[in-house]
Chains A and B, each alone.
Chain A
Amino acid sequence: MGKAKAFLVSALTLLLARHRRPSLPPGERERIVVPEPPKGYDAELLSIWIFLASAACAVAFVVVYVLDRLPAHTQLLGLALGLSFAFFAAGLVVIAKRLIATEELEDDYPEQEHPAEQERIVQVVEESGLTRRRLLLLALGAAGGSLGVALLAPAASLGPVVHLARFYLTPWRRGTRLVDEHGRPLRADEIEEKTFYTAFAEGADKEQLPSSLVVVRLRRDQLDLPSENAGFDADGIVAFSKICTHAGCAIALYRAPQFEPTDPKPALVCPCHYSTFDPATGGTVTYGPAGRKLPMLPLEVDPKGHLRARGNFDGPVGPSWWGVRLKEPTT
């Protein structure tokens, strides 16, 4: 520490000594800014023209703004304003590189630290006596800490942070009718093979995740439902949640083979990360990052021929969370 100080002191002395200048005649002040280089004329004229161009473009911007019937209006506005800035920049670059002295000066870096002042601060704090009253400080800390935490408590009102029952809620119960986007009930006999339909729970808010379904028809010989989904189909018609169990995008792709011997099997695919679900086996994941099968809705056909739910989904809808396998969906 002492050596560093000595070094600093001697360095400073040498510095100050080096920069001692000869004294000036009275009335004349010492120059601070290094004088600019001799060639200034051409650069100055150039930058004047450039700034005038910038002004012209700025005016053009206002004119174009007023004339809003012009085609490609946004492009003309952007061009005018952008060029105005660009000319301004160019003018400044010319000034910076040609008209202004670029002085390469030296200066000292500031002190690494100030040990004397640090000592004084520590001394002040110690002499105040606070540091010795450990228990008092502890109590102060406890009060401050609990006050801080207490102030955060109202943040819990932002949402149902503790009671997550809503995450299991769906609008489906036995008898809920399937309707299309316009509220028209879906008939079983209009569901054809090799295509897909988007359906919703009748009376429900379509934007709620559990409301939307993707419905497809498979042939009996294509179906291979596991025991927990036995009977979920209505004469080969199967329905699944339209919301991908990976990250919540809508499953808007249906892969429908035209020629079964050579084309890939029917599949519901999500366009976000390509999680692929097999409708024939109850929505199991056959490719992609989804970690959970697609929730399946059991279907039945009512006496009028309309499709209705026979119960709730076989699992919660949407992306997984801690409790997604803990409970069954509720209505």
Chain B
Amino acid sequence: MRRLVLVVLLVLAAAPAARAGDVTRGEHLYGRYCLSCHGANGAGTNHGDRQGPPLRGVGALAPDFYLRTGYMPLQHPGDQPRRSRVLFSEQEIEALVAYVASLGKGPGVPQPHPERGSLSDGQRLFTDHCAGCHQVVAEGGYLTGGVAPPLEEATATQVAEAIRIGPYVMPRFSPRQLSPHDVDSIVRYVQWAKHPDDRGGWAIGHLGPVPEGLITWFLAAATLVAVCIVLGKRLRSG
């Protein structure tokens, strides 16, 4: 019994340390993957072909977002970061996050509560602040100089993080502009938009007239032309 309690205590002691991330390991990884653009101690660089913003004071929020989405590391500075395969392991990410967060005081990883948000508020807020780039049901969109990605794969945390960061050319919405409750509602809406109300049938991408036009020609018109061919073919009687 005492041994069991000891083991439990040890595990409990070890666990928070593991979740908090190994700052030293993070610094090591940072030196290997991030230093060339983001500079020593996150000071940023701005010379020659290696450029990157400073990371002092970004807290845990930004690195958590960029690493978990695979936005970082970036191939070339000036490229638009895009969602890609995450090459770091869970421990490595936590280590990096811990290191970058240690560089200065900054926001922690947000904990959105979509269940507390209002779906209709979210629809309205998303339409007003996000739909211009991301399309009204988050199917993504184009803008001069970039692409606003579809949000199908975005987790609740990532949506909340992106709202606060404004990655690449996305605007940055502070808690003053979009309160935590607003963010809860927006997150709730984004999650709903992954499987929105498709009571009309096959949604063909939620993009509207373009896929509808493709169906008109390649399904409907094609079928009806086939019927015409069957009906109109001259029959060898007898």
- Let me know if chains A and B touch directly in the complex, using CB atoms closer than 8 Å: yes
Count of A-B contacts with CB under 8 A? 101
Closest to B128 in A: A198
Find out whether the CB atom of A195 lies under 8 angstroms from the CB atom of B144. Answer: no
Find out whether the CB atom of A267 lies under 8 angstroms from the CB atom of B173. Answer: no
A194 at the B interface (CB under 8 A): yes
Closest to B46 in A: A261
A104 at the B interface (CB under 8 A): yes
Residues in B with CB closer than 8 Å to A101 are 237
Residues in B with CB closer than 8 Å to A255 are 143-146, 169
Residues in B with CB closer than 8 Å to A38 are 238
User: How close is A190's CB to chain B, nearest CB, in angstroms?
Assistant: 6
Find out whether the CB atom of A102 lies under 8 angstroms from the CB atom of B201. Answer: no
Q: How large is the interface on B (under 10, 10 to 19, 20 to 34, 35 or more residues)?
A: 35 or more
Residues in B with CB closer than 8 Å to A126 are none
Binds A, one of B6-14, B22-30, B184-192, B228-236: B228-236
Residues in B with CB closer than 8 Å to A257 are 168-169
Find out whether the CB atom of A102 lies under 8 angstroms from the CB atom of B235. Answer: yes
A198 to B169, CA, bound (A): 18
User: Assuming A37-B238, A74-B201, is B172 touching A253 (CB within 8 A)?
Assistant: no
User: Assuming A195-B166, A195-B177, A262-B77, is B230 touching A102 (CB within 8 A)?
Assistant: no
Tell me the A160-187 residues at the B interface (CB within 8 Å). 181
A301 to B159, CA, bound (A): 34
Find out whether the CB atom of B51 lies under 8 angstroms from the CB atom of A256. Answer: no
Find out whether the CB atom of B200 lies under 8 angstroms from the CB atom of A74. Answer: yes
Closest to B80 in A: A263
A252 at the B interface (CB under 8 A): yes
B88 at the A interface (CB under 8 A): no
User: How close is A68's CB to chain B, nearest CB, in angstroms?
Assistant: 12
Find out whether the CB atom of A259 lies under 8 angstroms from the CB atom of B52. Answer: yes
Residues in B with CB closer than 8 Å to A224 are none
Residues in A with CB closer than 8 Å to B128 are 181, 198
The dominant DSSP class at the B interface is loop
Residues in B with CB closer than 8 Å to A276 are 144
Question: Chain A, 227-271, contact with B by CB distance < 8 Å: what is the 0/1 string?
Answer: 000000000000000000000001111111111011110010101
A109 to B99, CA, bound (A): 90
Find out whether the CB atom of A267 lies under 8 angstroms from the CB atom of B144. Answer: yes
A262 to B199, CA, bound (A): 44
Residues in A with CB closer than 8 Å to B211 are none
A73 to B173, CA, bound (A): 41
Find out whether the CB atom of B238 lies under 8 angstroms from the CB atom of A190. Answer: no
User: Assuming A101-B237, A195-B172, is B231 touching A258 (CB within 8 A)?
Assistant: no
User: Assuming A74-B199, A97-B235, A195-B166, is B78 touching A263 (CB within 8 A)?
Assistant: yes
B227 at the A interface (CB under 8 A): yes
Residues in B with CB closer than 8 Å to A256 are 166, 169-172
Residues in A with CB closer than 8 Å to B199 are 72-74
User: How close is A229's CB to chain B, nearest CB, in angstroms?
Assistant: 22
Tell me the B160-186 residues at the A interface (CB within 8 Å). 165-174, 176-177
A267 to B145, CA, bound (A): 10
B166 is contacted by which of A194, A198, A250, A288 (Cβ under 8 Å)? A194
Tell me the A75-110 residues at the B interface (CB within 8 Å). 75, 78, 89, 93, 96-97, 101-102, 104
Question: Chain B, 179-218, contact with A by CB distance < 8 Å: what is the 0/1 string?
Answer: 0000000000000000000011100000000000000000
Tell me the B96-154 residues at the A interface (CB within 8 Å). 128, 131-133, 141-146
Tell me the A34-84 residues at the B interface (CB within 8 Å). 37-38, 72-75, 78
Find out whether the CB atom of A195 lies under 8 angstroms from the CB atom of B78. Answer: no
B143 is contacted by which of A75, A196, A269 (Cβ under 8 Å)? A269
A102 to B143, CA, bound (A): 59
Find out whether the CB atom of A259 lies under 8 angstroms from the CB atom of B201. Answer: no
Find out whether the CB atom of A195 lies under 8 angstroms from the CB atom of B173. Answer: yes
A302 at the B interface (CB under 8 A): no
User: How close is B223's CB to chain A, nearest CB, in angstroms?
Assistant: 10
Pairs A–B under 8 Å by Cβ, sample size 11: A104-B234, A190-B177, A194-B171, A194-B172, A195-B177, A255-B144, A255-B169, A258-B165, A263-B168, A269-B143, A274-B144
Known: A74-B199, A93-B230, A263-B78. 5 other contacts (CB 8 A): A97-B230, A195-B171, A195-B173, A258-B53, A263-B168
B residues in contact (CB < 8 Å) with A: 46, 51-53, 77-78, 128, 131-133, 141-146, 165-174, 176-177, 199-201, 227, 230-231, 234-235, 237-238
